[in-house]
Amino acid sequence: MRAMSVHRPPRRPQLWLPVLIASQLLIALVWWRLGWTVGLPLLLDSHAICLWGVLAPASRLYGPVLTRLPGKDVWLTIDDGPSDDTRALLDLLDAHDAKATFFLVGERAAARPDLVREIAARGHGIGNHSQTHPQARFWALGPARMRREVLDCQNTLRTITGRAPAWFRSVVGHTNPFVHAPLREAGLARVGWSARGFDAVKADVDAVVARIEADLAPGAIVLLHEGAKHGRNVAMVERVLARMQAKGLRATLPDASA
């Protein structure tokens, strides 16, 4: 597949600001002309749309996000590492002749650089998943902190592997207006997903895999995790790989080259 079709760093990361200002000025004009009974609902609706753009993982309100691939292959993505699960996952992927992209947390990568280098050495992709993974506050980070989260992770992973990641995944999928400027600066494209089972928080392997399998189809981007407290992530990935094999689906990496 051609890189231009899927790897899309933001081109106009500040476009949201004039659009937002214009929308609020229009609402102020409506309020002045028609009164609060019309103006207030419009104001609340506009704020709800802005919040939806932050919290909805597939939202393109503030910038592009990749949620499916063209073609017949599936993209396995594994978040939150490196962890104690990493080597077992690498062995499992090798056994199924499957490739995955590991979206790594910068500070965890810095603590276990040997695992990061092993991921790369085995032919898997490495993506940026922020420097510190502030999952409770990522949606509300300001521009300076957001820039550090993105660029510090980028520098950490480049230092370890000698190669800068091409892909970024927002923490918990939340993407506020300040994410896209550092993505453009680093040449990163944001990746969402089309199949998930909430495996970071749910320990029921059958339920997680069934939920993923419902959306497991050609072109799917599958969201998986490693290192969850419940300790079942490796078993979940193993079951997903088995279901892919039964459906005749291959796990490959998209081309992010220029």
- Judged on CB neighbours under 10 Å (0-12, 13-18, 19+), 48 is exposed
CA 169-172-175 angle, 5° bins? 65
Tell me the one-letter amino acid at 185. Answer: E
In this structure, are residues 42 and 49 in contact, taking their beta carbons and an 8 Å threshold? no
Of 52, 45, 63, 50, the closest CA to residue 9 belongs to 63
Q: What is the longest distance spanned by two Cα atoms in the chain? A: 68
Instruction: Name the token pair of 98.
Output: 């499957």
Q: Is 96 a catalytic residue?
A: no
Alpha-carbon separation of residue 218 from 57, 124, 134, 172, 236 (angstroms): 20, 20, 32, 24, 20
Instruction: Name the token pair of 76.
Output: 């396995």
Three-state DSSP string of 54-81: HHCCCCCCCCCCECECCCCCEEEEEEEE
- Give me the catalytic one of 73, 79, 80, 199: 79
Q: Is 225 a catalytic residue?
A: yes
- Give me the catalytic one of 124, 129, 180, 225: 225
Q: State the catalytic residues.
A: 79, 225
